[in-house]
Structure formats: structure tokens, C-alpha cells
């Protein structure tokens, strides 16, 4: 009983310390990252290493921008600047 309680406390601490994202377990297809709030300002493309869309299982849709310093930023998938970044990185993959 103590181990699950400790795991729950650790998960709550991670969620409380990171207001824009929470890392959930990677079991049974549960998404690893969901956005709870969005970064309000555009991020310059030169700072971004990669992008990915959060799972449809998340309560709120989101796009994760991974910076060159490995920081993950949640952004609004409907914002025009985010759409431009998505198109740019999709073109790089093709």
C-alpha cells in the first residue's frame, strides 16, 4: 500500500511543479504528455529542435515544441504561428 501512495504523491508533485504539462505513465497507450495551459508567446523556429501533437486522449489538444535545450513547451495547435511551425517540420520529414 505504501508504494502506490508514494507514486501518487510523486505524480502530484510533478504536476504541481510543472503547470503547463504533466508526464503520465506510458502504459496501456496512455499519452506521455498532455497540455493543461499554453505558452502565450510565439517561439522562434531557430530554438525548436522538434514538434509533436499530443494524443487525442488528452483533455485539451496541444502541440509540444521541444527546444534545442530539451525543454518541452505546450502551445495552442490553432495558433497561426504554431501551424506554420508544424508545416515547416512536416516538410523537413518528407
Q: What is the CB neighbour count within 10 angstroms for residue 62?
A: 25
- 54 versus 20: the higher-pLDDT residue is 54
**pLDDT for 2:** 58
**What are 42-70's pLDDT values in tens digits?**
999 999 999 999 998 899 999 999 999 99
Going by pLDDT thresholds of 50, 70 and 90, the confidence category of residue 33 is confident
Predicted model pTM: 0.65
- 18 versus 93: the higher-pLDDT residue is 93
Contacts with 6 (C-beta within 8 Å, 6 or more apart), sequence order: none
CB-based contact 66:49 (threshold 8 Å): yes
- 68 conformational bin, left if phi > 0, alpha if psi -120 to 50, beta if neither: alpha
HSE (side-chain half, CA atoms, 13 Å) at 56: 0
Amino acid at each position: 500500500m505504501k508504494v502506490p501512495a508514494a507514486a501518487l504523491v510523486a505524480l502530484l508533485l510533478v504536476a504541481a511543479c510543472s503547470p503547463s504539462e504533466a508526464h503520465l505513465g506510458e502504459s496501456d497507450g496512455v499519452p506521455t504528455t498532455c497540455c493543461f495551459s499554453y505558452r502565450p508567446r510565439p517561439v522562434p523556429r531557430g530554438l525548436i529542435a522538434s514538434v509533436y501533437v499530443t494524443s487525442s486522449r488528452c483533455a485539451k489538444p496541444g502541440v509540444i515544441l521541444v527546444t534545442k535545450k530539451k525543454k518541452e513547451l505546450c502551445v495552442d495547435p490553432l495558433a497561426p504561428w504554431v501551424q506554420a511551425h508544424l508545416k515547416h517540420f512536416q516538410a523537413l520529414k518528407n
